[in-house]
């Protein structure tokens, strides 16, 4: 039955952390300026934020600055978090806005938007994963940053549509539209994805 496989699709290694335990950490930070709690929370997000920022074309050497700016806000505003949203939504939203502002102000330089050389993808490669990765890099490079973020937040970080909308500060329908367009663009670039469409299973 197809639905069984559908339900087991999500790779959740980097998915949202349990909100309750992270709120407890935030409470310790707010109430007792607990460095250990702060370090744990930082560790929970360092990798997630780093890869998200890399997807936003923030240069590797600038990623730490944005991550630390984000956690500077977490440290100073911990007591002001009222729990209207998921903690992960709040933290990732801060990082997204700071990176976006910084990129717009050109304070930090985006990774150069050099044209991707399609000929550099080795069709003779015996490593399917490597080839898929190269095509994916090509496909993602052709998407606007907002669409790339919607993809990353949904497929890699495992956020719900409502959480993605909160992080990107846009309506839920906008998230759906961005993902729809991103998927259509990627299908034009990624041969393996295009091949799946319309295929009976």
Partner 1 sequence: MSSRIPDTHAEAWALLPWLANGRIPASDREWVEAHVAACAECRAEVAAQRMMSTAMNRDGASPESAGTDEQRSFNRLWARIEASESASPASVATGTVQQSSRSSRTVRWLAAAVIVQGFGLALFAFNTLRTSPQSGEIVTVASVSPQTRLNAPAVRIVFAPGASITTINTLLAHQGLSIVSGPGTAGNFTAELSADAVASGASADSVAAVISKDPNVSFAQPVAR
Judged by the rule CB under 8 A, the positions of this chain that interact with partner 1 are 1-3, 5-7, 9-14, 31-33, 35, 39, 42-43, 46-47, 50-51, 54-55, 64, 67-68, 71-72, 75-76, 79, 129, 132-133, 136-137, 151-152, 154-156, 158-163, 176, 179-180, 183, 186-187, 190, 192-193, 196-201
For residue 144, give the H/E element and its range.
none
Q: What's the min distance (Å) between Cβ of 152 and partner 1?
A: 7
Angle in degrees, CA 8, 163, 32, rounded to 5 = 110
Residue 12's Cβ-count burial label (10 Å; 0-12, 13-18, 19+) is: exposed
Q: What's the min distance (Å) between Cβ of 35 and partner 1?
A: 6
Q: Which residues are paired to 11 by β-bridges?
A: none
Structural tokens at position 45: 């997000």
Q: What's the min distance (Å) between Cβ of 21 and partner 1?
A: 19
Residue number, 11 or 171, with CB nearest to partner 1: 11
- What is the radius of gyration, based on Cα positions, of the chain? 19
Quick one: how far is CA 169 from the chain centroid?
14
Q: What's the min distance (Å) between Cβ of 132 and partner 1?
A: 5
Residue number, 22 or 152, with CB nearest to partner 1: 152
Residue number, 71 or 96, with CB nearest to partner 1: 71
Q: What's the min distance (Å) between Cβ of 57 and partner 1?
A: 13
Q: Which residues lie closer than 8 Å to 69 by C-beta, 6 or more apart?
A: 98
């Amino acid at each position: 039955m197809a639905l069984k496989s559908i339900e087991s699709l999500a790779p959740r290694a980097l998915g949202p952390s349990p909100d309750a335990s992270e709120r407890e950490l935030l409470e310790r930070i707010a109430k007792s300026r607990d460095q250990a709690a702060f370090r744990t929370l930082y560790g929970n997000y360092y990798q997630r934020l780093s890869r998200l920022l890399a997807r936003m074309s923030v240069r590797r050497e600038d990623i730490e600055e944005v991550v630390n700016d984000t956690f500077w806000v977490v440290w100073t505003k911990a007591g002001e978090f009222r729990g209207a949203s998921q903690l992960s939504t709040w933290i990732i939203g801060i990082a997204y806005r700071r990176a976006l502002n910084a990129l717009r102000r050109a304070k930090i330089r985006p990774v150069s938007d050099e044209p991707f050389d399609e000929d550099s993808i080795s069709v003779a490669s015996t490593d399917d994963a490597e080839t898929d990765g190269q095509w994916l890099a090509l496909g993602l490079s052709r998407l606007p940053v907002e669409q790339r973020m919607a993809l990353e937040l949904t497929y890699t970080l495992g956020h719900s549509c409502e959480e993605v909308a909160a992080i990107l500060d846009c309506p839920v329908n906008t998230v759906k539209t961005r993902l729809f367009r991103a998927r259509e663009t990627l299908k034009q670039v990624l041969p393996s994805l295009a091949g799946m469409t319309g295929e009976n299973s």
